[in-house]
Amino acid sequence: MIPALSQVGDRMFQLTGVRAIMKDIIETLRSGAGREFINLSAGNPVLLPEVEQLWRDCTAELLASSEYSEVVCRYGSSQGYQPLIEAVLEDFNQRYGLNYSDRNVLITGGSQALYFLAANALGGYTQSGDLKQIVLPLSPDYTGYGGMTLEPESLKAYQPHLEINEKTHRFKYHPDFSKLEINAQTGFVLFSRPSNPSGNLLSDEEVEKIAAMAAPHSVLVFVDSAYAAPYPALNYAPMTPIFGENIVHCMSLSKAGLPGERVGIALGDERIIQVLEAFLTNLCLHSSRYGQAIAARAIRSGALAELSETVIRPHYQAKFATLESALDEAMPDSVPWYLHQGEGSIFGWLWLKDLPMTDWEFYQRLKAVGVILVPGDAFFPGLREAWDHTQQCFRISLTADHGEIAIAMQRLAEVARQVYG
Amino acid sequence: MIPALSQVGDRMFQLTGVRAIMKDIIETLRSGAGREFINLSAGNPVLLPEVEQLWRDCTAELLASSEYSEVVCRYGSSQGYQPLIEAVLEDFNQRYGLNYSDRNVLITGGSQALYFLAANALGGYTQSGDLKQIVLPLSPDYTGYGGMTLEPESLKAYQPHLEINEKTHRFKYHPDFSKLEINAQTGFVLFSRPSNPSGNLLSDEEVEKIAAMAAPHSVLVFVDSAYAAPYPALNYAPMTPIFGENIVHCMSLSKAGLPGERVGIALGDERIIQVLEAFLTNLCLHSSRYGQAIAARAIRSGALAELSETVIRPHYQAKFATLESALDEAMPDSVPWYLHQGEGSIFGWLWLKDLPMTDWEFYQRLKAVGVILVPGDAFFPGLREAWDHTQQCFRISLTADHGEIAIAMQRLAEVARQVYG
């Protein structure tokens, strides 16, 4: 029997964005019996021994303590595990000179869950039938934003301004403030900083300008800080997290070595925290507590912030340097290629301007030479106007090793040479 | 600033059912400085040393193995952690003579999350504007069902038939098949078996009859087995889990000592599993994996099923016996009291027929003598017709110790004597 689905069911049965592509990649890898692929599609972070050891040590401590049974064998508060809330507060208040209390923190089962709650509590239709839009001020952005809304029409992304350096083959996105609209129809604003997929880092001034545009309309700005300082500190350019009355600072510990445990953290005004907490209660009672308990220890001791700076960031920053030099060396002058400035995240973002085929077709050509990248079209959720740029970009994971990245870029350069003719 | 909420946000900001009462209870306990309360409101299971040791042992094994980093430090599949899926399949296929494959299993972040997914994928409005109802065939039922739907009007509960034994002061609910409707407007059917709050256990025949009524309309029946055999085996009367083409067997490990980790398991037709999995992916990528990994070990070894029968069930069954004898002894003949047959769960369910005040007022009177029960009105989500019975019932947690239960029932008997005059 095939069950009839509701409107929400129909919508949520669709796998959006990069997940549809991941199916093709998984099938390629499975069916490629005997063939070797250099897989630069992975979003799964590299297992870094020092980071794994941190989580093992915290687990051993937890297991040796009487705290264990309280964490694992008892229901908890919907808001989150109190020692984690306190550890985050103490760290952030001290580090950034803030004055948040425990009413300003919510722990969710990963940050995707946090955006799902926000997207549907603040975006979508109101009681009076108005559509509240979720504004993504700079497209491309995180592909998961495409799947979080029960009403797809609520998502509205804006085409960015491109700063292009033809000589160095680099480019960088900026919000296009001449087009960006934030008004009474806006439910909330959302962007990742540093950005997955592009590695772009909105400047402090850009974030402040967006927050200032939103404030008069009582619109909240959610800053997806999954790659930001202080953990996992996957910013390569200097950055200051920005806080403010209408800013919700959203964190994830996935890139700090804890993706399996799904720990998301929201820091913001207590009224929005209450709304999201109530939604979370109705949805799942509370988030799993073991990940929260070991995170509390790693944050309290300072070890997580330290390893982020001394181990996690240098690992990916060195990979990005390899990507840059490999492309600089291998790419033919005849190809108008542009690598996005590497300001953070665990990805490189390559734009092949005037590519004489779609990103999907180029992806297939790369597969034929044993290289897997992610075609970029999936990273423009909510963008409605046609823009050829969306089919000219590729996300390159920095999780492969240095040698693989270099070889893959040589092969990509050769395919590009053929394709551009 | 107070953010404007969408319709979904307004709805999900409301804490439904027992959660509103829990606030009053928490405040009572906090403000009762120096006063001693016997708290029979708790849903948090008792920490049983053998059960805690099982989870500690499984954790130590996991930590000593190379599996640890794969579980905690990597993203996983949305469907769930493969070793847990395999352990559940092997156990269920063997134990109940089934033939399920790994396409028939989904792991969720607790069973509340599972019902949220089902409630909104199968219940609510369709593309064509029809309302698909979520049918609760026997009210009272789990209070959390009241919070899971984005559209409250989709929930429809049915008043049961009461089997009353005036001599023994016991009663039992049955589905009232003369009223129950399952038709093309039904999204799915849902009930807990054994039932929270009443401890009622639908018979095999009753479950099969409901499933047979649903099948011609391609309607699925979700059986909330959070208290069922084989784990946590909190059935005191014999029971057989019922499987079938349109039955989704839903489990939770919360009452098997793992509430903090949020592990829910659905076992059913692969098409509904796919729908719920896609929804889960969009909502939160996947469930936390540590709880899944230790559960896989505890199920595979057989230890979880064994401890459920030898430790968990006897613990609560003995508490129920204490509750019965305390009431039988203390309650005055002048009061028309009826205890629901204790067929499972971790609660007793007391009906004070013709109670000359509301359940909420009686709850306040009990607080005044230092006893906290949960007034029953919160356990009838989706029931629309007026029924005085809903304000005459009380849920009594079996998590307190034997002496506390006995004293609380003596005090309750005294209050009842006064109230009935």
pLDDT tens per residue across span A127-152 = 999 999 999 999 999 999 999 999 99
What residues contact A151, with CB distance under 8 A and at least 6 apart?
A11, A123, A124, A125, A131
Dist. CA B376–CA A174, nearest whole Å: 57
B88 inside domain: yes
- For A:51-90, CB contacts with B below 8 A are 51-52, 55-56, 59-60, 63, 68-76
What tokens appear for B338 in the block?
């009826």
Average pLDDT over residues B221-238: 98
Counting as low any pLDDT under 70, the low residues of chain A are 1-2, 16, 18, 33-34
Whether A2 is in a domain gets the answer no
CB contact burial B248-272 (16+ within 10 A = b; e otherwise): bbbbbbbbbbbbbbbbbbbbbbeeb
Residue pair A418/A334 in contact by the 8 Å Cβ criterion = no
- Does residue A144 sit in the same domain as residue A238? yes
From A238, A273, A306, the end of a domain falls on: A306
Confidence of residue B2 (pLDDT cuts 50, 70, 90): low
pLDDT at residue A22, rounded to an integer = 78
Instruction: Enumerate the residues of chain A whose CB falls inside 8 A of the CB of residue B125.
Output: 6-7
Instruction: Specify the pLDDT at position A2.
Output: 67
The pLDDT of residue B92 is 98
- Taking CA–CA distances from A154, the nearest residue in chain B reads B6
pLDDT tens-digit map of A66-83: 999 999 999 999 999 999
How many domains in chain A? 2
Residue-wise pLDDT tens digits, B113-169: 999 999 999 999 999 999 999 999 999 999 999 999 999 999 999 999 999 999 999
- Residues A281 and A78: their CA atoms lie apart, in Å, by 6
Amino acid in the structure at residue B158: Y
Confidence tier at B215 by pLDDT (50, 70, 90):
very high
Same domain, A207 and A276: yes
Classify B377 as helix, strand or coil.
helix
Here the ipTM equals 0.95
Kindly report the nearest CA distance between residue B56 and chain A, in angstroms: 7
User: If we measure between CA atoms, which residue out of A87, A225, A197 comes closest to residue A139?
Assistant: A197
- Examine the domain organization and report whether B247 and B312 are in the same domain: no
Instruction: Using alpha carbons, select from B159, B206, B201 the residue that is nearest to residue B180.
Output: B159
CB atoms within 10 A of CB A359: 21
Which uninterrupted H or E stretch holds B249? strand B247-252
Residue A311, φ and ψ in degrees, nearest 5: -125, -55
Instruction: Give the angle A183-A187-A188 at the CA atoms, nearest 5°.
Output: 90
- Residue B118: give the domain boundaries: 51-302
In whole angstroms, give the CA distance from residue A356 to residue A359.
Answer: 9
pLDDT over threshold 90, residue B28: no
Q: What is the pLDDT of residues B165-205, one digit of tens each?
A: 999 999 999 999 999 999 999 999 999 999 999 999 999 99
B20/B92 same-domain check: no
Distance CA B236, CA B233 (A): 8
**Same domain for B159 and B262?**
yes
**A27 and A72 together in one domain:** no
pLDDT at res. A28 = 83
Q: What DSSP state is assigned to residue B135?
A: E
Domain boundary among B256, B284, B302: B302
Q: What is the CA radius of gyration of chain B?
A: 21
Same domain? For A31 and A41 the reply is yes
Query: What is the rounded distance in angstroms from the CA atom of residue A144 to the CA atom of residue A147?
Result: 5
A232 within domain boundaries? yes
A107 beta partners: A265
Dihedral-angle region of residue A392 (phi above 0 means left; psi in -120 to 50 means alpha; beta otherwise) = alpha
> How many Å apart are CA A342 and CA A339, to the nearest integer?
8
pLDDT for res B354: 98
Asked if the peptide bond before residue A230 counts as cis, ω within 30 degrees of 0, the response is yes
Residue A66's identity, in one-letter code, is S
Domain end residue (candidates: B302, B336, B368): B302
% residues pLDDT > 70 (chain B): 98
Give B216: exposed, middle or buried? Use CB within 10 Å, 0-12, 13-18, 19+. Answer: exposed
Q: What pLDDT score does A33 carry? A: 65
Angstrom distance (rounded) from CA B350 to CA B376: 9
Sorting pLDDT into bands at 50, 70 and 90, what band is B36?
confident
B181 touches chain A (CB under 8 A): no
Assign 3-state DSSP to chain A and report helix, strand, coil percentages, each to 5.
Answer: 45, 15, 40
Quick count: other Cβ atoms within 10 Å of Cβ B181? 12
Whole-model pTM: value is 0.96
Higher pLDDT, A363 or B26: A363
What tokens does B20 get?
């509103």
The reply to whether B255 falls in a domain is yes
Interstrand relation of B393-397 and B347-352 (parallel, antiparallel or unpaired): antiparallel
Question: Which residues in chain A have their CB less than 8 angstroms from residue B271's CB?
Answer: 1-3
Confidence of residue B257 (pLDDT cuts 50, 70, 90): very high
What pLDDT sits at residue A30? 80
Residue A229 makes CB contacts below 8 A (sequence gap 6+) with: A235, A239, A240, A241, A308
Model confidence band, residue B22 (pLDDT cutoffs 50, 70, 90): confident
| Most B CBs within 10 Å, among A77, A134, A262, A269, to test the B interface | A262
A73:B287 CB<8 A? no
Which of B231, B224, B228, B288 shows the shortest CA–CA distance to B257?
B231
